[in-house]
Amino acid sequence: MRATRILETALYGHDLDAMRAFYEGVLGLEVYEAVPGKFVFFRMADQMLLVFNPSHSSTQDIKDGPPPHGAAGAGHLCFRAPDGGLDRWQAHLEAKGVAIEKVLDWPEGGRSVYFRDPAGNSLEFAEGSLWEFPPMRTLANAKIVIATHNKGKLEEFAALLKPYGVEAVSAGALGLPEPVETENTFAGNARIKALSAVTGSGLIAVSDDSGLCVEALGGEPGVYTADWAGPDRDWNRAMRLVEEKLQAKGATTPDERRAYFSCTLCVIWPDGEERIYEGRAQGTLAWPPRGQLGHGYDPMFVPDGETRTFAELSPEEKNRISHRAKALEKLVRDLF
């Protein structure tokens, strides 16, 4: 047997507030869990960065927990930069006021950018070629096809990806057919659409499949969200059908009317590699419907933390908390 992947990396710092501000605010890492004065954990794709206060971790005595651990002096951590992305990271760090300690060009090829975190730990960005790893997948500066025939959806994706130099074209604009969606999961149908687009265009394809899942209805309408609106896409009819089914279940209180919107994004490269990203917006269902904005089931969906429905929120407000925004955030964090 042999170990093949590092799951966790640990660093130490006494000022966890400063460490969290740095790794979250400067490097854009997602906080997974934090306990003031003890630790803050960050998720990075399929790896974890664990930052501990050594004053606590080195003296902890937990019967059902890990043994004491800590460090004296600075640690070191190297982040992998996308190929061609070192200059962008260096510019980003400098714009955030982070001092670049050293830029090193290695004799056998490859380059490293060194800097420090608030605890003095040595940090580095380097490309995978430094260790002869294959190129890192990215959508930066790429031409891609969005697997949609919906102009509005293309514009939404294109606007989000434009800052990264991405040129987006729709499957509809390329004259590609709309594939039949035969899977019973969002990921399965997103994959069908992306595969059709990448096969027909030869470009990296990005697709999405989304829908409303109502807990009291066993997750329905789910992947059949659009079907409930009928062939004419009558969304008033679809919302009435949801309400009728809820009433038949006796679901009248907010706790009985829980639901979520789900969005699954699928990215497929011409060589067959794929990535899946999911985002959810949790909430409750209101009746009667309210609001004139949005589309689909938006007039009856009240997101958690709001009293207004999606259809009563401005596009800017909705896009900050929507299921698609959350899925796109994961895509951007992974591929740029």
Q: Known catalytic residues? A: 209
Q: What's the chain's Rg over C-alpha atoms?
A: 23
Handedness of CA 172, 178, 179, 185 (dihedral sign): positive
Distance CA 157, CA 29 (A): 23
**Residues 308, 310: Cα–Cα separation, whole Å:** 7
User: Measured in whole angstroms, how far is the alpha carbon of residue 193 from the centre of its chain?
Assistant: 19
By C-alpha distance, which of 204, 202, 230, 198 is closest to 296?
Answer: 230
